Homo-oligomer: A and B are copies of this chain.
């Protein structure tokens, strides 16, 4: 059994998503995941509370990256510029060698109503994190709300374009998405 710990989380994630696809999400056990990853159950539980968190743990990482990007932007930065910085910051989560994992995760969630509800709940958390970040920069409640709604739309759009575009880098897609969003938002708010 490999003891190369830094990679353990990624190996557990890959093993989980393979097994969910092969045997079904409901019937796969943590013991099977650990075995496939060549690790112990104890190691699994050091990284994830349960098998559901394999699917949703990444969203906490995303929320953290958004929070940092919004807090660290220069005082003069406009909200849409800050959203651009945030999408650049999350790009490592959407590295090209993770595309197959991301697609498997989407397929599993699409097949389970309770996981879809959880996904919506996590999306609401991400939005709340953005509202807080923009408020902390001095935006009014409503302006922070608008910035967060646009942020979520930018993220979702860039994400879907990335999974649909065969092998293009997330950072390139993010930049295009932000430019398109600026055009669209200007049309709507006229």
B contact residues around A189 at 8 Å (CB): 79-80, 150, 182, 185-186, 189
Pair A142/B181 contact, Cβ less than 8 Å: yes
B contact residues around A78 at 8 Å (CB): 190
Interface size on A, residues (CB 8 A): 32
B contact residues around A80 at 8 Å (CB): 188-189
Question: Does A75 lie at the interface of the complex (its beta carbon under 8 Å from any beta carbon of B)?
Answer: no
A156, closest chain B residue (CB): B145
Q: Which of A6-14, A40-48, A117-125 contacts B (4 or more CB under 8 A)?
A: A117-125
Query: Within A130-149, which residues are at the interface with B (CB < 8 Å)?
Result: 139-140, 142-143, 145-147, 149
Query: Within A69-88, which residues are at the interface with B (CB < 8 Å)?
Result: 78-80
Question: Does A49 lie at the interface of the complex (its beta carbon under 8 Å from any beta carbon of B)?
Answer: no
A185, closest chain B residue (CB): B189
B contact residues around A184 at 8 Å (CB): 140, 142-143, 145-146
Bound-state Cα–Cα, A56 to B46, Å? 39
Query: Would you give the shortest CB distance from A122 to chain B, in whole angstroms?
Result: 10
Question: Does A187 lie at the interface of the complex (its beta carbon under 8 Å from any beta carbon of B)?
Answer: yes
Query: Would you give the shortest CB distance from A154 to chain B, in whole angstroms?
Result: 9
Question: Does A62 lie at the interface of the complex (its beta carbon under 8 Å from any beta carbon of B)?
Answer: no
B contact residues around A117 at 8 Å (CB): 117-118, 120-121
Interface residues of chain A, those whose CB is within 8 Å of chain B, are 78-80, 116-118, 120-121, 124, 139-140, 142-143, 145-147, 149-150, 152-153, 157, 180-190
25 contacts between A and B (CB under 8 A): A78-B190, A79-B187, A79-B188, A116-B121, A117-B118, A117-B120, A120-B121, A120-B124, A139-B187, A140-B187, A142-B157, A142-B184, A143-B187, A145-B153, A145-B157, A145-B184, A146-B185, A146-B187, A146-B188, A149-B149, A149-B153, A182-B189, A185-B185, A185-B188, A189-B189
